[in-house]
Every structure is written in structure tokens, then in C-alpha cells.
Structure 1
Amino acid sequence: MKGLVMPPARAMGGFSRKQVAAAVRRARNLLAAAHLNRKVLLGGRPEGLIRLLDPEQRKPFVEGLAHPGTKGDFRSQDWVTSLAPGSAELVGDTFKVHGKSRLSVFRENGLRGVRIKVNYLFVYAIRRPGRPETLTRLVAHNVGALDLWKEEGRLHFWVTEWNGGGVAPARCDIDDGFVHPFYPDSAPDAKLDHNARSVDPYSLEEEPSEECAALRSGT
């Protein structure tokens, strides 16, 4: 978790430094649970992330796991980097992490609190199972936010956005919530939009795109 550098906590928005520090730790632990747990990366259930969610958010998240990729439901599987079972194996024990986060005060829907905006890249070496010649790098980009607010005497740590930056190189023509890596020898992606603006998977600044676009730089 070395790369998950977080901003120093301070009293703000009517919350003490200790309360803000708890929110910062929660955000950091959520990032680790979503992107650095080997079991989850290989398609396992994200138990650690479930435990970290606000109790009122936990139930719909767990229900959404039962229906991955279903439009209209809580798309829980999209909140984690989880390779489709059997699609890849991790090479080595080191994952590269780079990014930033910032603290701000928000006022929305009658609530006032502290928001932690996160923007991190996670890079993994992967290959097809048993196929060392297919070694490639996979990049996951988490653009998200965690809000701290208080209601009826209870602190809430509420995920308002999560994992919005996408994963590359991954297939766009399979929408089941899991990451399906795109290897150099993969069949063409049926949803690749050749007219879409190409993307640099290593850029923290680029806005996520709705289209399935080609990569500007190799992974």
C-alpha cells in the first residue's frame, strides 16, 4: 500500500482532525480492498470492501454482487478490479500504484461534510494462464470519492463515486462486471470504436470515456 499516499488530515467542515483522519483511512483501505487484494483480483468475492462500506450501502452492494453486469441494478462488481475467472494469472507479487487524492468541504442535498476525491492508477503484470509469451500490463484507473457526513449523531462514510476510470487493455464487448483482458493475440473487440478519441491508460488527467477507444500508448 506504499503508493496509496493520502493527504494529511486536518479539522475542517465542522469535523475534528480525528474524524477526518478516520475518513482518510477508510478511503485508503477501500482502495486497497478494491485493487490490491490478490483473491479479489483473481475473481474472488470482495469481503474486505464489503466490511468497509457504510451499513446502509452494504446491503445493496451485496445484492448487486449476485447479479454482476445487470443494467439497472447496483453494479457492485464494477467497484473492484476483478479478472474474469480463468482469464489471467498475476505475474509477480508487486503491483505499481501511482496517484493522488484531495480533501474538500461539500454541501449537497441538505448535507454538509468532507469529501475525499481519489485518483489512482494500479498496474499489474498478467498473462494467459500457463502462457508466459502473452505477458502484458493491465492498468486500472480509480476515479472516485468518499464522503464523510453526520446524521442523527452517527458518522457516515459514503462512497459517492468509485472506480470510474476504467481498465485497459480490456475487452468492451463482454459486460459481466469482470475484467476480460485484451491480449496481443486476442480476437478483435466487437465494440471498439475506431472513431473515438484514443486514451492514454497511464494518464491521471484524462477524463473517462464512454466509448470503447484504442489505446494511445502500449501497456
Structure 2
Amino acid sequence: MSDRRSEQSSGDEPSSSSISDEVWQQFLSDSERDIRKSAPKEPSARAREVTQRLKKQKGEPEGWRTGPAWQEMNGRAARRRKAWAVIGVPLAIAVAVVAMRPSLIPGDPFGSSAGSSSGASSGTDSATSPLPDETAAPTAPPSAVAADTPTLAHPFAGSPALRWADGAAGIVLPKATALGAIPKDRVELALQQTKKLLVDANLNPDVVAGARPEAALSVLDPKQPHVLDDLDSSLRSPSKTRDPLFLFSRFDPKDVKLAGKVIKTRGRITFAKGKFEGVAVHADYTFVYPVVRADGSTEVTRTIVRRVIDVELPDATRYQVTPGRLTLLRYDEDAGNSACDIDDGYLHPQFPSQAPTGSAAPTGPSIDPYDRSHQLGKGPQGCGTVSRT
């Protein structure tokens, strides 16, 4: 499993209104954490004075600068990777199937499932009935499911995702409401633009097969320095530091293809008033991709990708931004069952019949890629194993 994190940032020249010392101090403390954010600011002569004074007090790097629309917090995004690659011993083999009643737990935070090779749903069988929408952060990983081998006919057999929603149906937007002076329609626009980003980046079959994510890129603000340029560069020439997998799910069509048309989805979206007078949207979703090799083999495996993104739709009357476009503040990613240390811009799932052994086998710890209860970036580092796919 690989964990990729990126926070974007920028810089220009001041416009009109003043900004308090408290806000600037918050900017500084934010930059000292490993989640470094980029966002518009309201600069002024006083803002520049405060910046210089804080630079002298705190010894900030030369990259700090003011501008009319953006504050660059600490240069370009620093990205770090954590790899979780090959299939570990399935927990389901060692753990008895637990039949749970999701109705007793609000939102069914455990994502419980008993598994089924048929993949059929039954209104009276909690083992195969669809889960309720996720409305709160889970407090534990999904319970163990019956061990079963995925097939072309039933690609989610033996997976907790069997009961998850199919594709975009799993991205359920909360009801838009006004946020103080921010009208309801602007909140709705921010939510719809975020969903468009998520769907194209993770569920569009052409993008998953390696095509350019045009719709996802179209919702991002071209005035946010570096962001679109860096994403374009990552798509043209992937590298360890500029990897399209930071934001987009992609497989090399010469190697693998989707097993069927369904990608399973589970997660949630929330919104609030942003620090910068806009609509801030937080999204946390896991996508499960069943795949087969492109050589005609019928062996099915699954890659599990979890993404957390933070975006904001700023007030275009106060900031130099493109109306209706999203400011990308943060994006984290974990990929379960994708080979370690390959930086070609594609996910590389490993199949049970091809799992490396001996010196080629990963030696890191095991992790459950279906576990949505932990924060990304908080787990162990290194190339390890996934406990189940």
C-alpha cells in the first residue's frame, strides 16, 4: 500500500484589505506540520510588514512571499510515499465470520459483511444487503468475511466491498445549506465540483485505463500556482515526486484491465466555512478495483485505493481566483496491493499466482486496506503487505 500526500501552495502581490497577526501566525504553524496548505489570502501593506517581522522571528525560508491571491506556505508540495504491496495471509482464513446487525450501529461504521461468492443482494440477509451510507468516521476496520476467491462473474467475492455501493452511487452528497453569508447555491456548487473531481479521477473507466482526466482537471483553478502545471507534468512524465497516482487512479492497459464494469465505493463528504471565506469540502473515500491481466488470464485480484482530499471554493469577489473553480489544498492516498517503488504513474496490482517470494518479498508490517478508521499518514512506513484484498 502506498501513501502519497501533497499540499499545494502559491504566491503573487497584494490587493486591498488587511489581515490579522493571528491569521498569519496560523499560517506559520500550519507550515510547520507535514500537512502544508496553499490558499488565497487578503494581503495588504500591513500583511507584508507582519510577514517580514515573522520571518525574522522564526527564520522562515526565502520561499515565503506575499501576493494578491495566494500565500505560498513552504515552496512546492512535498510528497512522501508509503508502500503496501503484496497480498498477505487473508485474515478471513483465521477469523470466524461474525454476523452483525448494521441497524444497531449508526451508519454501520464497521462496514460489516459476511461475504458471498454470488454477490447477490437480499433484503432479509444482512450478509449481502447494501450497507447504509457512511455518515461518520468508522471506529474499526470491517469485520472478517468468509474467505472466497474472486472470479470474473463475482469479482468482489470474499471482500467487505461486496456490500458497498457501485461507482458514483457511493459518492452521496450532503444536503447543501447556507453557511452564514455564503448562499446555499455556492455550497451546492462546491459539493458538485468536488464530486465531479472524485468521479473522473477514480471511477471514469477511460481514466482508470490511463487516459487523461480532463473533467477532473477542469474543476481546478488554473490561477492556483503550480497545481495544474505539476499535474500535467506528472501525467506526461511520471516520477517519484510527481506521480499522477497522488490524485488519479490509473492502471497500465498493457498489463491489466478492470474485471467487469463495477468499482466499489465507500466514504463520505462534509463541508464547512473555509479559513478563506469560501466553502471548504472534505472528502474521504475508498475505491476497490477488481482487475485481471491483459494477456487473457481469468485470475482476478483487487487493488484498494483510499483518498482524502480537501478543497475550497473561494469567494471570487474577495480573492483573485477563477469563479466556480476549486482550490486544491491537500490530497492523500493509500494504495493497497500495488507493487512498491515503481514510479511510472500506474498502479501495479499483484496476483496470488505471482506474489514475490524470498528476497523479493516485502518485509514490512501488514495492514488492512479496508480499514477506514485510521488517519492517512499515521501508519507504519516502508514496503509491507496487505492482510486482504
Instruction: Name the TM tier (shorter chain).
Output: 0.7 to 0.9
CA contact (8 A) 1:69 1:175 kept: yes
Count of residue pairs the alignment pairs up: 209
Structure 1 unaligned blocks of 5 or more:
none
Aligned to 1:98: 266
Distance 1:153 1:115, change over 3 A: closer
Percent of residue pairs identical = 28
SS in 1 for 2:367: coil
Shift, 1:95, TM fit: 1.5
SS in 1 for 2:216: helix
Rounded Cα–Cα distance in structure 2 between residues aligned with 1:80 and 1:92? 20
Deviations 1:55-87 (A, max 9, x none): 22434422332221242x4x4442100012322
Q: Out of 293, 297, 300, which is 1:131 matched to?
A: 297
Q: What letter corresponds to residue 249 of structure 2 in structure 1?
A: T
Rounded Cα–Cα distance in structure 2 between residues aligned with 1:153 and 1:119? 25
Tell me which of the two structures has the higher relative contact order, counting C-alpha pairs closer than 8 angstroms and 6 or more residues apart: 2
Rounded Cα–Cα distance in structure 2 between residues aligned with 1:186 and 1:143? 30
Aligned to 1:40: 207
TM-score normalised by L of structure 1: 0.85
Structure 2 unaligned blocks of 5 or more:
1-167
Of Structure 1 and Structure 2, which has the larger fraction of its residues in strand?
Answer: 1
Aligned to 1:158: 327
Q: Out of 31, 34, 39, which is 2:198 matched to?
A: 31
For the aligned residue pairs, the C-alpha RMSD in angstroms reads 2.2
Shift, 1:181, TM fit: 0.9
Rounded Cα–Cα distance in structure 2 between residues aligned with 1:64 and 1:165? 15
In the alignment, does 2:346 pair up with 1:178? yes
Deviations 1:149-196 (A, max 9, x none): 12148544112123x2322111112122211112113353858342x3
Rounded Cα–Cα distance in structure 1 between residues aligned with 2:333 and 2:180? 28
CA contact (8 A) 1:26 1:52 kept: yes
SS in 2 for 1:11: coil
Shift, 1:33, TM fit: 0.4
CA contact (8 A) 1:165 1:207 kept: no
Rounded Cα–Cα distance in structure 2 between residues aligned with 1:177 and 1:136? 20
SS in 2 for 1:165: strand
Distance 1:117 1:124, change over 3 A: same
Rounded Cα–Cα distance in structure 1 between residues aligned with 2:234 and 2:180? 32
Rounded Cα–Cα distance in structure 1 between residues aligned with 2:180 and 2:328? 18
In the alignment, does 2:228 pair up with 1:61? no
Rounded Cα–Cα distance in structure 2 between residues aligned with 1:214 and 1:100? 26
